[in-house]
Amino acid sequence: MTGDVFSIREARPDDYAAIFDLTQRAFAPTPYASGTEGHIVLALRDDGDLTLSLVAVAADQIIGHVAFSPATVGETNGAWYALGPVSVAPEQQKTGVGSRLITAGLDQLRGLPASGCVLIGSPSYYGRFGFTRCDGLTYGTVPAEYVQGLAFTSMSPVGEITFAPGFDVQPK
Ligand SMILES: CC(C)(COP(=O)(O)OP(=O)(O)OC[C@H]1O[C@@H](n2cnc3c(N)ncnc32)[C@H](O)[C@@H]1OP(=O)(O)O)[C@@H](O)C(=O)NCCC(=O)NCCS
């Protein structure tokens, strides 16, 4: 399949089981999988913290999903959001699905309005969306290059990130 034969829309209740399966399946082969990624999406939703939940759909199948949730950033005032988990079905990866999901989500966040977005992830992937290492932006002992921010205004994210409680969930 090419990267163009899919559409992006907000998740609906009848997508939730597929989103869980997809998320677990996407992360399972990665060296950084915790096994909790699908559970994190469930917990964010249960807690009312799934600000944005977008799916990529091809031939009536869910092939990708991205979650955005509220986050706090140190003492920074403003409305910050966390990106993730983001998942693309293993057989559909590297066809532009993840990029379209992330770009669509960031466009929607900008309209909320929001101060910006933060995440823990690969600089080589997220740099293409404008995320950068930000001076003073931290998350525990995670190396600084993996702690990234994208400010939508002149206010930079500075301080320790606190993600929504759903990120601390354990598998049931
Ligand atoms: C990461 C992920 C969401 C990217 O989505 P995708 O649809 O495969 O990626 P896209 O087609 O939009 O972009 C492809 C590019 O991303 C790069 N890429 C994909 N996964 C990457 C990763 N984990 N780290 C760094 N780069 C990555 C590819 O090498 C490719 O680079 P290129 O454009 O320079 O050739 C998807 O690969 C995935 O679900 N991975 C497993 C779960 C995961 O790791 N989630 C993110 C955790 S931070």
* 40, 165 contact by CB (below 8 A): no
Among 34, 41, 88, which is best to mutate for testing ligand 1, by the most ligand atoms less than 8 A from CB?
Answer: 88
**Cα of 115 from ligand 1 centre, angstroms:** 25
User: According to the model, what pLDDT value does residue 75 have?
Assistant: 83
Reported confidence tier of residue 1, pLDDT bands at 50, 70, 90: very low
- Domains of the chain, with CATH numbers? 7-164 (3.40.630.30)
Statement: residue 3 has pLDDT above 80: no
Range 32-49 average pLDDT: 96
Q: Is the CB of 121 under 6 A from ligand 1?
A: yes
Q: Is the CB of 93 under 6 A from ligand 1?
A: yes
Segment 68-123, tens digit of pLDDT: 999 999 987 899 999 999 999 999 999 999 999 999 999 999 999 899 999 999 99
Q: Is the CB of 139 under 6 A from ligand 1?
A: no
Statement: residue 67 has pLDDT above 60: yes
Reported confidence tier of residue 171, pLDDT bands at 50, 70, 90: low
Range 37-63 average pLDDT: 97
Reported confidence tier of residue 55, pLDDT bands at 50, 70, 90: very high
User: According to the model, what pLDDT value does residue 61 have?
Assistant: 96
Considering only CA atoms, which of 3, 143, 108 is closest in space to residue 64?
A: 3
Q: Is the CB of 167 under 6 A from ligand 1?
A: no
**Cα of 20 from ligand 1 centre, angstroms:** 19
Statement: residue 2 has pLDDT above 60: no
Q: Is the CB of 123 under 6 A from ligand 1?
A: no
Give helix 16-27 / helix 37-46 axis angle, nearest 10°: 150
* 155, 76 contact by CB (below 8 A): yes
Q: How far is CA 117 from its chain centroid? A: 9
Give the integer Cα–Cα distance in Å for 149 and 8: 24
Give the integer Cα–Cα distance in Å for 153 and 172: 39
Q: Is the CB of 125 under 6 A from ligand 1?
A: yes
- Which residue lies with its CA nearest to atom 20 of ligand 1? 125
Q: Is 102 helix (H, G, I), strand (E, B) or coil?
A: helix
- Which residue lies with its CA nearest to atom 48 of ligand 1? 121
Q: Which two tokens stand for residue 150?
A: 């994208």
* 11, 54 contact by CB (below 8 A): yes
Range 31-58 average pLDDT: 97
Task: Please give the mean pLDDT across all residues of the chain.
Answer: 95
**Cα of 27 from ligand 1 centre, angstroms:** 11
Range 27-50 average pLDDT: 96
Range 22-37 average pLDDT: 95
Q: Is the CB of 24 under 6 A from ligand 1?
A: no
User: According to the model, what pLDDT value does residue 170 have?
Assistant: 80
